[in-house]
Amino acid sequence: MMTKAELLAKIHQAKEEQWLELKLPGQGITELPPEIGQLQCLQKLGLWGNQLTELPHEIGQLQALQEFDLWGNQLNQLPSQIGQLHALQRLDLWDNQLSHLPPEIGQLQALQLLDLGYNPLNDSLTSVTTLKNLRVLDLCNTSSDFPPFLARLKKQGDGIYIPQHSPNLPEEFLKKTSLDIYHYLTSGQGQLLPLNEAKLLFLGDGTSGKSSLVHYLLHNKFARKTKTEGIDRLQWKGLTVNDQQIRLNFWDFGGQEILHATHQFFLTKRSIYILVLDARHGEQESRLEYWLKLIQSFGGDSPVLVVTNKTDEEHRLTLNQRFLQDKYPNIVGFYPTSCRTGAGIPELKARIIDTVAALPHIHDQMPASWFKLKNSLERRKENYLSYEAYQALCAKQKITETDSQNTLCGFLHDLGIVLNFRDDDRFDRLRETNVLNPEWVTNAAYKLLNNVELCKNHGVFSKSDLANLLDAKNYPSPKEHQFIIDMLQKFEMCFPLADTASDYLIPQLLPNNEPDLGWDKANSLRFEYHYDILPHSVFSRFIVRLHELIFQKIYWRTGVVLQLDGNKALVTADIEDKKIFIWVSGTPATRRELLAIIRKELQHIHRTIKGLSAKARIPYKHITVDYQHLLNLEAMGQTTYIPEGLDEAIKIQELLAAVEPKTAAPTPTAAPITIKHIKKLEITGLWGNPTVITWDFQTDVNVLAGMNGSGKSTILSCLYQLIAITPLYAQRDYLSMVKKIRLWTDDNKEITYLSDNKLNKPRITAEINLISTFDAPLKALEAVQKLSDERVTTELDWQIHHLQQAYLEYQLNIGRKKTADNSTDITAPQTRFLAIIDELFTETGKKVNRDKNHVEFLAGDKELSAYQLSSGEKQLLIILLTVLVQDNKPSILLMDEPEISLHIDWQRKLISHIRELNPNVQIIIASHSPAIIMEGWLDKVVEISDITAPQAG
* Amino acid 229: pLDDT: 60
Judge if 209 and 289 occupy the same domain. yes
CATH number at residue 33: 3.80.10.10
Residue 325's domain comprises 196-358
CATH number at residue 270: 3.40.50.300
* Amino acid 659: pLDDT: 87
Judge if 38 and 121 occupy the same domain. yes
Q: Is residue 690 part of a domain?
A: no
Judge if 102 and 238 occupy the same domain. no
**Looking at 355-450, which runs of residues are DSSP E strands?**
365-367, 384-386, 433-435
Alpha-carbon gap, residue 416 to 248, rounded angstroms:
13
* Amino acid 281: pLDDT: 76
* Amino acid 637: pLDDT: 76
Judge if 231 and 301 occupy the same domain. yes
Q: Is residue 62 part of a domain?
A: yes
Sequence-distant (6+) residues with CB within 8 A of 274 are 200, 201, 202, 203, 210, 213, 304, 305, 307, 352
Q: Is residue 667 part of a domain?
A: no
DSSP state of 761: P
* Amino acid 255: pLDDT: 57
* Amino acid 166: pLDDT: 45
Judge if 204 and 345 occupy the same domain. yes
CATH number at residue 593: 3.30.310.200
DSSP string, 852-913: -SS--EEETTEEE-GGGS-HHHHHHHHHHHHHHTTTT--EEEEEESTTTT--HHHHHHHHHH
H or E element that contains 625: strand 623-626
* Amino acid 567: pLDDT: 92
Cα within 13 Å of Cα(149), Cβ side: 15
CA-based angle 88:20:39, to the nearest 5? Answer: 80
Query: 304 φ, ψ to 5°?
Result: -125, 130
Picking from 121, 144, 167, the residue at the C-terminal end of a domain is: 144
H or E element that contains 673: strand 673-675
Judge if 137 and 224 occupy the same domain. no
* Amino acid 570: pLDDT: 97
Q: Are 83 and 104 in contact (CB under 8 A)?
A: yes
Judge if 817 and 939 occupy the same domain. yes
- Taking phi first (over 0 means left), then psi (-120 to 50 degrees means alpha), and beta for anything else, what does residue 202 get? beta
SS3 content of the chain, % helix, strand, coil (to 5): 40, 20, 40
Q: Is residue 254 part of a domain?
A: yes
* Amino acid 816: pLDDT: 63
* Amino acid 381: pLDDT: 85
Alpha-carbon gap, residue 45 to 72, rounded angstroms:
14
Mean pLDDT of the chain: 81
H or E element that contains 740: strand 740-745
* Amino acid 836: pLDDT: 94
As to burial, measured by CB atoms within 10 angstroms (0-12 exposed, 13-18 middle, 19+ buried), residue 167 is: middle
* Amino acid 80: pLDDT: 93
* Amino acid 823: pLDDT: 58
* Amino acid 168: pLDDT: 53
Sequence-distant (6+) residues with CB within 8 A of 387 are 409, 420, 422, 431, 432, 433, 434
Q: Is residue 171 part of a domain?
A: no
Q: Residue 801, Cα to own-chain centre: how many angstroms?
A: 27
List, for the chain, all residue ranges whose pLDDT scores fall below the cut of 50: 146, 148-149, 151-167, 175, 177-179, 258-259, 663-669, 725-731, 774-789
Q: Are 701 and 940 in contact (CB under 8 A)?
A: yes
Judge if 98 and 9 occupy the same domain. yes
Q: Is residue 769 part of a domain?
A: no
Judge if 132 and 11 occupy the same domain. yes
Picking from 625, 659, 693, the residue at the C-terminal end of a domain is: 659
* Amino acid 422: pLDDT: 66
Number of domains in the chain: 4
Q: Are 58 and 34 in contact (CB under 8 A)?
A: yes
Picking from 144, 161, 178, the residue at the C-terminal end of a domain is: 144
* Amino acid 577: pLDDT: 93
Judge if 353 and 205 occupy the same domain. yes
Judge if 131 and 253 occupy the same domain. no
* Amino acid 667: pLDDT: 40
Alpha-carbon gap, residue 427 to 490, rounded angstroms:
8
Q: Is residue 63 part of a domain?
A: yes
Q: Is residue 167 part of a domain?
A: no
Judge if 86 and 217 occupy the same domain. no
